[in-house]
Chains A and B, each alone.
Chain A
């Protein structure tokens, strides 16, 4: 998983509505928190490991401390078909 690279499903869009970041597609609507928004904005063309590093740098935390949360969120996006693993 850590070396996997993903592409966004082009039918998913994110919008800022009343100070909330909303990710939506047909039949799907999900509120993203700040870290979720960061991951969504940076997920294309970068490995999961690179995203963890970027996020850790952004929030000045240890990458190991956030690794599981990032992987869980990416698994959620995969399950919802919001991202597709690059071949």
Chain B
């Protein structure tokens, strides 16, 4: 019997599928931190149903009901399940748009991906992330066939550009605070810059993530086998997990954040 091994629990996939209202031609997959091996006892298991028709799910009571996807929750085997239902057609359209991106143009990064109407880019890219890091539970062939369609190089390159844009936006605030000699706030803003910088680095190393909270566990995973990642993690620890007690120390820390960020980003090909 096929089982999902989640923490110390074995969940029979067939039992799990029984509670889901999918149809024969749908695709069901599990994703999230528990599937990626970085979750904890309080993490939810995310189940995704890619359906031919969202209307099929109209009779199900959903906590969140959007045009392009629906979300509901349930509990089983002592684990909370988030169940998201998405249109398969929408994911196909997004995959096609990612594959067609021309990076050597002057198009602004956020305009490279011309998303279907009424979709937030964060939701869509989170779906793509969950999809490529997920595990098929039902219709493995359909899942694999969709996955094979996605140009992963384009996905990672797009995510590198998007996350580096975030760094460039936030780093201006950091520089502004240093200029103003507000070093305490500079360090606070700098912590965000550091996390965004490492997000960019992880994408450049073809590690996908969709939340800042997974940056450190993913970096730790990568550092187990990659010396550069190990060096970056050591530097990040030295800058972040340090006690700062006076303005001079805050100033020095803010400059260390800038140096480290610039070092990491200068190594990443755009």
Contact = CB atoms under 8 A, between A and B. Distances in A.
A17 B175 CA distance: 22
A13 B259 contact: no
Contacts of B104: 18
Interface stretch (B40-48, B71-79, B260-268): B260-268
Interface in B13-38: none
Contact of B270 (A8, A13, A18): A18
Contacts of A44: 259
Nearest 9 Cβ contacts at the A-B interface: A14-B266, A10-B258, A17-B270, A16-B269, A13-B262, A11-B175, A16-B270, A15-B270, A15-B265
Nearest to B263: A41
Interface string A9-37: 01101111111010000000000000000
A39 to B, nearest CB: 13
Interface of A: 8, 10-11, 13-19, 21, 41, 44
A41 B178 CA distance: 22
Interface string B148-181: 0000000000000000100000010001001000
Contacts of B230: none
B255 interface: yes
A13 B269 CA distance: 14
A49 to B, nearest CB: 22
- Tell me what chain A mostly uses at the interface: helix, strand, loop, or mixed: strand
11 contacts: A11-B175, A13-B171, A13-B265, A13-B266, A14-B262, A15-B164, A16-B268, A18-B104, A18-B270, A21-B266, A41-B263
Nearest to B174: A10
B154 to A, nearest CB: 15
Contacts, number: 32
Contacts of B269: 16, 19
A29 to B, nearest CB: 14
A86 B270 CA distance: 32
B255 A10 contact: yes
Contacts of B267: 16
Nearest to A25: B175
Contacts of A15: 164, 265-266, 268, 270
A43 to B, nearest CB: 12
A8 B263 CA distance: 12
Interface in B230-266: 255, 258-259, 262-263, 265-266
A12 B171 CA distance: 11
A11 B255 CA distance: 11
Nearest to A41: B266
Most B CB within 10 A of own CB, among A10, A14, A16: A10
A13 B268 CA distance: 12
A21 B262 CA distance: 13
Contacts of A13: 171, 262, 265-266
Contacts of B175: 10-11
A81 B242 CA distance: 31
Nearest to A13: B262
B178 A10 contact: yes
Contacts of B164: 15
Contacts of B266: 13-16, 21, 41
